[in-house]
Structure 1
């Protein structure tokens, strides 16, 4: 694990709620399973804005990969299991082995590969808990943009899907919530 990934792991491990939720998801025992996107990104941006104990914003995105179980009913079953353990959390579970169809992409090869097709580099990050004290980080674009508070579209959203990327920044209010964010293009 690189030093920047170790920093992210440390931030997640010291956040009692996030560390607990990583354990809840690990207990599902799903293949190639992670908590991703805003759950990680927001924790890091809050930390870099010196906000400790900030509440979770939005849903908790659980991604996994199993091409043999692509029925969306499987995802709903896992959401129900998570909700039974932590009913106050808005869980969203998606098997990335089927998401390429919805997104109009070539089939993904893994959960990490699927993140390459997400809108922002800082959002394309995931973590999973291994045992009681290990946190693994997956970041197909690295973690520099996330740690440097840079907003940058992935290559899939830089041109033809650019409006989706720009709408996300505007509608999610990121620049108001985290005023130190800046565009990598400025």
Structure 2
């Protein structure tokens, strides 16, 4: 059962498939790198739903932070390198030093700062390997929501933030309840959707 941050780390550490992906990304030596979002969240929710088979991922989100090189083409080159290592995986690499331009926010100061500004607390998660190949987990909003399977907006997407429509559109497009029916969704007003 997953109850704590340490439980999540151990669960990922014991997953050979996830560890292989983490090792592939580690070979790029990207500055301040993490694999984030659905890579972590889906594993947790699959476990909490007792699914015997992994839910397929739309993409594997790799983030890093390098203000010295913000050309999108550089990200594509990293995706190509990862595709050589694991060609069957849907790689997505993004430099968080430029992503504030996409989100319309103030510049990020690190990858974790970028992860913190994701729309949902349950998506604002990242993992990487330390120098001893142990899993490190970042969860700027904590792990409570993801472990309770409660989708909530981060403070950047709450009511009157100017970005609440983005949160609502993501909730509608992701259709998470179809995949994980035990999940509860909270709106930008903090109320449970459907009540």
In the superposition, the TM-score normalised over structure 1's length comes to 0.94
Unmatched runs of 5 consecutive residues or more in structure 2: none
Q: Distance in 1 between matches of 2:181 and 2:55?
A: 17
Runs ≥4 in structure 1, deviation > 4 angstroms? none
CA deviation string 1:18-63 (max 9, x = no partner) = 1110111111111100100011010101011011341432100000
In the alignment, does 2:50 pair up with 1:84? no
- 2: CA distance, partners of 1:36 / 1:111: 10
User: 2:166 is matched with which residue?
Assistant: 164
Greater fraction of residues in helix: 1
SS at 1:102 equivalent = helix
| Contact kept? 1:39, 1:56, Cα under 8 Å | no
1:12 counterpart residue number = 12
- Alignment RMSD: 1.4
Deviation at 1:114, TM superposition (A): 0.8
Of residues 48-57 and 134-143 in structure 1, the stretch that sits farther from structure 2 once superposed is 48-57
Alignment match, 2:150? 150
Aligned to 2:27: 27
**Corresponding residue SS for 2:97:** helix
Q: 2:134 aligned with 1:134, yes or no?
A: yes
Which is worse superposed, 32-41 or 126-135?
Answer: 126-135
Instruction: Please list every run of 5 or more consecutive structure 1 residues that lacks an aligned counterpart in the other structure.
Output: none
TM-score by length of 2: 0.89
Q: C-alpha displacement at 1:130, in angstroms?
A: 2.1
The aligned residue for residue 118 of structure 1 is: 118
Q: How many residues align?
A: 184
